[in-house]
Structure 1
């Protein structure tokens, strides 16, 4: 389904407009699952699973979901602006920061309007801002990868599609390689308490497969999309390996980050409506965490044209 949408997006008048609804839905669902995690987390000083005041400290679902979607929409301003100027003071990535600032103020104002006395307001506010930054802000960088266009890139955003697909390919191949290498060769635990199944042998297997994924995404896949790098072979190969290492490591950290939140809330899955998958957070955690790293490597010209 994703690749069918990517094919349609490449043929749209504006890069990203076909994929934007998917990003909005994904970020909203991820935010909703984070709210559920916090609803099951204890307020500081209370035992885990305690209802009552602990539940009061959870973010307000409707406000957080609206603020999260707002961040992604603001981040996508360049694809929604009918005549977006080539040069702007805010640039492109600056829209992510602007969206986060506006969403943060929305959450603050909502707490001020509903404030009724001392209690869980500060904890709820901190969790709300975190949820918006995680589900909305990081998704904003996914949108920014798709929006790479112009200048050294291209006029129609094809390199942006390569950037987006390379993120997904590298992260998911890292996950796959780590899983199978860990099961076959895993001996040394990486984080015995947080994620007992992760091993250093698995991490090496993940890097090996993500390196293959990076070379495929930045080689044959890029060529199929009409994007050929002008770099020499060794420069291109070095960029692929560094991209696989850093983006793959960030993806693994993203998986551990969600494991931390779920274990703290004593939850096995972040949702109950996706049996066998754990939830949207489990599908997006590594991609969201790795998106800013991938974006930096692209704009730093470590990989690309």
Structure 2
């Protein structure tokens, strides 16, 4: 299992890193377009759209991204995605409705198109601001995840959402938040690799508000993670798919990014 995880990680890095670091923004956009299409396929599968229905949905999502490029500004997409995560996200986690049936399934299939388009635009817009900027944005989620894992292992006692994801703890969530705060503080103090998300937030909002926004982003990374965990739990599966051997599916890797990306770009104005 570990060997499979390592091989998959190496292959992914061999594809993602060169495109992110050295390729033109257009090539980066194409790569993210492919990622979004696979994520949409998994989203539909978790909502029990069926084999054919899931493929059709992925194609529709890919076309929706292409069509959304004609928008004068992606801000309406960021706003719509932000409303979804601020309102529907917590509601679903608290009330736990059946998501893959009736009106909820129809709503989530429609909302998913907006979420995936917003995700694509946020990443491409971030990449146009520079490699360091897009990496610093992704780093918020990566650090929150890594910090939560190690803090949860070391100190975790109080379950965060036992009915949805029994392994997550409040101590882990705080550890993830602390990891983001520390790295952001160090990056700002050293003016490292600017412009970054941290320097942009500090420049526009001031230090205090910048750290508050980062706290909000970390919180919503947890919401995105738990939301996908609930989808999987209700679908009766461990992973969103087997596309990434040893790592699950694409959604398993980007679930926390789905709320963070549009909210970050929206809060930056």
TM-score over 0.5 (shorter chain): yes
The alpha-carbon deviation at position 222 of structure 1 amounts to 1.5
What corresponds to 1:65 in structure 2? 58
The alpha-carbon deviation at position 179 of structure 1 amounts to 0.7
What corresponds to 1:269 in structure 2? 239
Q: Establish whether residue 199 from structure 1 lines up as the match of residue 169 from structure 2.
A: yes
* 1:220-259 equivalences in 2 (<5 Å): 220-222=192-194, 236-259=206-229
Q: 1:249 to 1:138 in 2, by over 3 A?
A: same
Q: Which has the higher helix share?
A: 2
C-alpha distance after superposition, 1:174-206 (max 9, x if no partner): 000011001100111111110111111111100
Residue pair 1:169, 1:214 contacting (<8 A) in 2 also: no
Q: Distance in 2 between matches of 1:123 and 1:228?
A: 39
Q: 1:217 to 1:23 in 2, by over 3 A?
A: farther
The match for 1:33 among 35, 42, 54 is: 42
Q: 1:96 to 1:185 in 2, by over 3 A?
A: closer
The match for 1:4 among 18, 35, 39 is: 18
What corresponds to 1:152 in structure 2? none
Stretches of structure 2 that go unaligned for 5 or more consecutive residues are 1-12, 81-100
Q: Distance in 2 between matches of 1:36 and 1:229?
A: 37
> Which protein has the larger Cα radius of gyration, Structure 1 or Structure 2?
1
The match for 2:29 among 9, 14, 20 is: 20
Q: 1:121 to 1:170 in 2, by over 3 A?
A: closer
The alpha-carbon deviation at position 271 of structure 1 amounts to 0.5
Residue pair 2:77, 2:118 contacting (<8 A) in 1 also: no
Q: What's the RMSD between the two structures over aligned residues? A: 3.2
Q: 1:222 is paired with a residue of what secondary structure?
A: coil
Residue pair 1:177, 1:205 contacting (<8 A) in 2 also: yes
Q: Establish whether residue 91 from structure 1 lines up as the match of residue 73 from structure 2.
A: yes
TM-score, normalised relative to structure 2: 0.73
Stretches of structure 1 that go unaligned for 5 or more consecutive residues are 40-54, 79-89, 99-119, 148-156, 300-305
TM-score, normalised relative to structure 1: 0.65
| Runs ≥4 residues deviating over 6 A | 95-98, 120-124, 227-232
Q: Establish whether residue 286 from structure 1 lines up as the match of residue 268 from structure 2.
A: no
Q: Establish whether residue 164 from structure 1 lines up as the match of residue 134 from structure 2.
A: yes
Q: 1:291 to 1:231 in 2, by over 3 A?
A: closer
Q: Distance in 1 between matches of 2:218 and 2:35?
A: 21
The alpha-carbon deviation at position 228 of structure 1 amounts to 7.1
Q: Distance in 1 between matches of 2:199 and 2:176?
A: 26
C-alpha distance after superposition, 1:75-130 (max 9, x if no partner): 4448xxxxxxxxxxx434247789xxxxxxxxxxxxxxxxxxxxx99776445313
C-alpha distance after superposition, 1:28-57 (max 9, x if no partner): 110111122122xxxxxxxxxxxxxxx66x
What corresponds to 2:120 in structure 1? 139
The alpha-carbon deviation at position 131 of structure 1 amounts to 3.2
Q: Distance in 2 between matches of 1:189 and 1:133?
A: 32
Q: Distance in 2 between matches of 1:281 and 1:216?
A: 30
